């Protein structure tokens, strides 16, 4: 994967607006944002009710993903362009799902919903229906997803990249500051993790920094990108954003997203935790 | 916007004693701005959170005591305001944006 075929800009999206084989998909934390206005023709994915299993803490399985995409009118040979709020956090999270389940052509709209709005581009509340398809997913890839035992065994050996804000990394905050701070888990970070906040990979308008800037960022943070890397955050969406930067933009194959992230690790009994910067 | 409440959103339903709330409104030419974003930066300038503005230009963050900067991004303009947050005493601020 490379920057050229993982990322599209707004002009590309507008030029392909009437292409029936290009599907824009909006994924937001605030799922009501789509109702207020979305890019014309875009379908909505609800990261919580549609991408998460309703009972256990896990994401949807292969059959659930196939059913979801079929109902959304997304075909295997469609080009899927994901975008959303929060600087594309949840769109990147959905992107990671699409790659995990083997979708051939998936891309991210650089800057997401924010840049689109700040540029004054059109948003509409009108929903464009798409006819149902019969989507077939691959078996879930295991080479881009990390589980807790791998994270624990990675302490002191692999790169652990904590992409939360410095205040969350140090334990002074338990969640991003747009959310209430009452949480059950412990504060801090996985020992030996380096704090490279996701926001440093992006410009203020939400677009990704250049590959040279990204490479320099991790080098300055002391992350040797030739080693295996596991990215984590609080619930796995911001680390999906960093996974996208490393795996898709820089083309590094040895990068995993730990979607259990701090809400899992910080609740485990007996695992080591570091606090402070 | 005529009739808009000045300052940040209502704190009803929030445990203000436990939280360190920073909230307010983004205005341009004295009027709330309904399209845009508010970013919360820590004392080192690092991004900590971002929220879209409400229809009445309002925003809210849950931070920790200390010095922060609220930076507003709206189409064609930006603005920022430094604030000092304290637990149990919601900060209500106004951020003016200029082109």
Q: Name every residue whose Cβ is closer than 8 Å to that of residue B13 and which is 6 or more positions away in sequence.
A: none
What pLDDT sits at residue A268?
A: 95
**B42/A199 CB distance under 8 A:** no
Q: What is the pTM of this model?
A: 0.93
A176 touches chain B (CB under 8 A): yes
Domains in chain B, start-ordered, CATH in brackets? 20-88 (2.60.40.10)
- Could you state, in order of their start, the residue ranges of all structural domains in chain A? 3-118, 148-265
Convert the pLDDT of each residue in B70-97 to its tens digit: 999 999 999 999 999 999 999 999 999 9
**A118/B50 CB distance under 8 A:** no
- Please check the confidence at residue A1 and state whether its pLDDT lies above 90: no
A6 touches chain B (CB under 8 A): no
Min CA distance, A200 vs chain B (Å)? Answer: 8
pLDDT band of A185, cuts 50, 70, 90: confident
B94's tokens = 């106004």
B2-31 exposure pattern, b = at least 16 Cβ within 10 A, e = fewer? eebeeebbeeeebeeeebbbbbbbbbbeee
Chain B residues with CB-CB distance to A197 below 8 A:
46-47
ipTM: 0.85
Convert the pLDDT of each residue in A235-257 to its tens digit: 999 999 999 999 999 999 999 99
Cα gap B56→B53, rounded to integer Å = 7
Residue numbers of A between 205 and 224 with CB closer than 8 Å to B: 205
- Please check the confidence at residue A33 and state whether its pLDDT lies above 50: yes
Cα gap A185→A196, rounded to integer Å = 22
Chain A residues with CB-CB distance to B49 below 8 A:
165, 176-178
Catalytic residue ranges of A? 233
- Which strands make up the sheet holding A255-257, listed edge to edge? A194-195, A159-162, A229-232, A255-257
Q: Do you know the residue count of chain B?
A: 99
What pLDDT sits at residue B19?
A: 87
Under a CB-based contact definition with an 8 Å cutoff, are residues A26 and A42 in contact?
Answer: yes
Which segments of B8-88 does DSSP mark as H helices, in order? none
Convert the pLDDT of each residue in A81-127 to its tens digit: 999 998 999 999 999 999 999 999 999 999 999 999 999 999 999 99
- Please check the confidence at residue B2 and state whether its pLDDT lies above 50: no
**A173/B48 CB distance under 8 A:** yes
Task: Name the interface residues of B facing A (CB cutoff 8 Å).
Answer: 14-15, 18-20, 22, 35-37, 39-40, 42, 44, 46-52, 60-64, 73-76
Min CA distance, A232 vs chain B (Å)? Answer: 16
pLDDT band of A2, cuts 50, 70, 90: confident
Residue A257, SS3 per DSSP: strand
Which fold does the domain A148-265 belong to in CATH?
Oxidized Rhodanese; domain 1 (3.40.250)
A211's tokens = 């590959």
Domain A148-265 in the same topology as domain A3-118:
yes
Min CA distance, B29 vs chain A (Å)? Answer: 18
Which fold does the domain A3-118 belong to in CATH?
Oxidized Rhodanese; domain 1 (3.40.250)
Convert the pLDDT of each residue in B13-34 to its tens digit: 788 888 899 999 999 999 999 8
């Amino acid at each position: 994967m490379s920057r050229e075929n993982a990322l599209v800009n707004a002009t590309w999206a507008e030029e392909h607006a009437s292409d029936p084989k290009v599907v824009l998909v909006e994924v937001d934390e605030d799922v009501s944002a789509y109702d207020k206005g979305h890019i014309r023709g875009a379908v909505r994915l609800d990261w919580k009710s549609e991408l998460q299993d309703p009972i256990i803490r896990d994401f949807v399985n292969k059959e659930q993903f196939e059913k979801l995409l079929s109902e959304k009118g997304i075909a295997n040979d469609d080009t899927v362009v994901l975008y959303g709020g929060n600087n594309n956090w949840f769109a990147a999270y959905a992107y990671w799902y699409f790659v995990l389940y083997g979708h051939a052509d998936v891309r991210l709209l650089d800057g997401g919903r924010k840049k689109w709005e700040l540029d004054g581009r059109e948003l509409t509340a009108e929903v464009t229906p798409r006819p149902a398809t019969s989507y077939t997913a691959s078996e879930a890839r295991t080479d881009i997803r990390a589980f807790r035992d791998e994270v624990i065994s990675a302490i002191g050996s692999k790169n652990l990249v904590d992409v939360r804000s410095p205040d969350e990394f140090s334990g002074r905050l338990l969640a991003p500051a747009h959310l209430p701070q009452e949480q059950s888990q412990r504060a801090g970070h996985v020992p030996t993790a380096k704090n490279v906040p996701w926001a440093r990979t992006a410009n203020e308008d939400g677009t990704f920094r250049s590959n040279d800037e990204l490479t320099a960022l991790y080098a300055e943070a002391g992350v040797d990108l030739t080693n295996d890397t596991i990215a984590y955050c609080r619930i796995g969406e911001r680390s999906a954003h960093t996974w996208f930067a490393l795996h898709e933009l820089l083309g590094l194959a040895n990068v995993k997203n730990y979607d259990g992230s701090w809400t899992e690790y910080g609740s485990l009994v007996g695992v080591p935790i570091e606090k402070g910067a | 916007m005529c009739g808009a409440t000045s300052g940040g959103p209502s704190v009803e339903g929030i445990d203000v004693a436990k939280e360190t709330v920073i909230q307010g409104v983004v205005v341009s030419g004295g009027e709330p701005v309904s399209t845009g974003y508010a970013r919360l930066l820590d004392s080192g300038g690092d991004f900590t959170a971002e929220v879209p503005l409400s229809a009445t230009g309002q925003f809210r963050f849950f931070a920790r005591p200390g010095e922060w900067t609220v930076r507003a991004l709206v189409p064609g303009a930006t603005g920022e305001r430094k604030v000092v947050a304290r637990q149990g005493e919601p900060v209500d601020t106004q951020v003016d944006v200029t082109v």
